[in-house]
Structure 1
Amino acid sequence: MEECQKLTFHVGKRNYLLGRTAAKRAASTMMSRFDLTKITISRGVFGQPVLHTGSSDKLAVSISHCQCMGAAIVFPEGSPMGIDVEAINPSRNETMASQMTVAEMESGATVISNKEFLLTLLWSSKEALSKVLRTGLTIPFELLEIETIQTYDGFYVSTFTHFPQYSAKTYLTCGYVWSIVAPRKSEWHLDPLEMQNYFLAFDCGCRKQSATIK
């Protein structure tokens, strides 16, 4: 709460609380520890969240927030991951398109015909990768270029031109695009239907876009 009160604007405070609450809940679930006061998240030298649990478990966390949504993923330090959530917003199309390469737009269009969704998927995947690299979006976007996109039942998998050791899984839920980047050979699973049901249970109603964009 002390950190939150240092923030000037309401949006900043809301985002801070959303992200920290999601991170604490993720860590609590992974460790089966239910006292959230024993879990804290500080800032690293690059602004990244640093997880403190008071145990010997070497865990790390990645946090994202967008509008009224907060998301976090907790993972072993030895297997870095990153998460990003973005709302599909046509007003951002021009900005996002300016940061994409011709190759990834042409390749992506063969898989995803909806331009707004494609741009948001590319952006979200790149931002999640930048969290793994701990650079944020401070490096040239072309270094984060996506090489391939494949569609599966309920999600998409993307690979990166310059970082072949990682891949991204992307989900679409009620107008939000979620991307999780992990080492390419990692095996993990999220149930898209379960995600959607969970989202709808906590939906504040601010997002009314269809979840069936292709």
Structure 2
Amino acid sequence: MFPESCVVRKLVLTRDGSFGSFAATDILKATIAIIYRQRLGQEETESLANRYLHTQEQKVRLGFEFPQRRDSFTIGRLAAKLALECHLDDVLPNDVAIGSGVFHQPIIMGASVRCCELGVSISHSDQICVAVIHHKGHPIGVDVENLAEADVVSVLSDVNARLRQQFFKLSLNEYEAASILWVGRESLGKVLTTGMTVPLKLYEPTSVSEVEAGFKLSYKT
């Protein structure tokens, strides 16, 4: 639709172990949308908002006092709707509203039975916005972050020697290690819908390893 500004892709997940009460073909599917904010002009943003957003979302976005907050909300909802449109081709995005829970987590609200099975995770930075539509039986949390240099020391302050050694073996500097840890914490907090309301020690991984173009964090629980 606007290839220079956005990428939308269906994902096929893999999992070792149980699939709960659902078939693997149902829950091992997700769709990701990435919007490059600097490539999306204000006029195009407004046009897409009028096309994709529910009247309830329009009311919320127009109620923000500050333009930056309004833009972040709008881009986040647009990314979610683009992912939803690709994930469910028989659902009109503007018939579905994405509300907020008590922890400000996004919640899909739509009349479609298929929508009721889905969850969404949204994150954005100054450069990009990412949204992932997933089955609630296989929750996914997504986070993008531009970690401030000043936050590196505090993020790494409680990391044990074993984990530090693993980062060293992967040739990651302190900024890279802190960024991976923070994104992992945020993503896991979204999956558990606890955010940063629990001690950060609970989000500490037991191991980190390199997997293809990324890194895998493993946890005890």
TM score, norm. by length of structure 1: 0.68
1:59-81: CA deviations, max 9, x gaps? 11111111132111111111111
Q: 1:46 aligns with which of 103, 118, 121?
A: 103
Whether the 8 Å CA contact 2:125–2:145 is kept in 1: the answer is: yes
The residue aligned with 1:196 is none
SS in 2 for 1:105: helix
Aligned AA (1:47) = H
Residue-by-residue CA offset, 1:112-153 (whole Å, 9 max, x unaligned): 422211110110011100001100011111001111111122
Structure 2 residue aligned with 1:19:
76
Equivalent position of 1:175 in the other structure: none
**Distance in 1 between the 2:66 and 2:168 partners?**
38
| Aligned alpha-carbon RMSD (Å) | 2.0
Residue of structure 2 aligned with 1:3, choices 47, 60, 64: 60
Give, as a single letter, the amino acid of the residue that structure 2 aligns with 1:43. S
Cα distance in 1, alignment partners of residues 161 and 89 from structure 2 = 46
Aligned residues of 2:91 and 2:112 also touching (Cα < 8 A): no
Give 2:102's aligned amino acid.
V
Structure 1 pair 101/38, CA: closer, same or farther in 2 (3 Å)? farther
How many pairs does the alignment contain?
A: 162
- Which residue matches 2:214? 155
Alignment of 1:130-149 (within 5 A): 130-149=189-208
2:129 to 67, 70, 92: 70
Q: Greater strand share, 1 or 2?
A: 1
**Percent sequence identity over matched residues?**
26
CA displacement, residues 64-108 of structure 1 (integer Å, 9 cap, x when unaligned): 111132111111111111111112542332342346445433332
Letter of the 1:94 counterpart:
V
Long gaps (5+) in structure 1:
164-214
User: Which structure: larger Rg?
Assistant: 2
Q: CA deviation at 1:56?
A: 0.8
SS at match of 1:151: strand
Matched, 1:55 2:112: yes
Q: Secondary structure at the match of 1:138?
A: coil
SS of corresponding position for 2:218: strand
Structure 2, unmatched stretches of 5+, are 1-57
Deviation at 1:34, TM superposition (A): 6.9
Q: Aligned equivalents of 1:13 and 1:118: distance in 2?
A: 32
Tell me the alpha carbon deviations over residues 171-200 of structure 1, each in whole angstroms, 9 at most, x when there is no partner. xxxxxxxxxxxxxxxxxxxxxxxxxxxxxx
1:42 is paired with a residue of what secondary structure? strand
Higher deviation after alignment, 8-17 or 55-64: 8-17
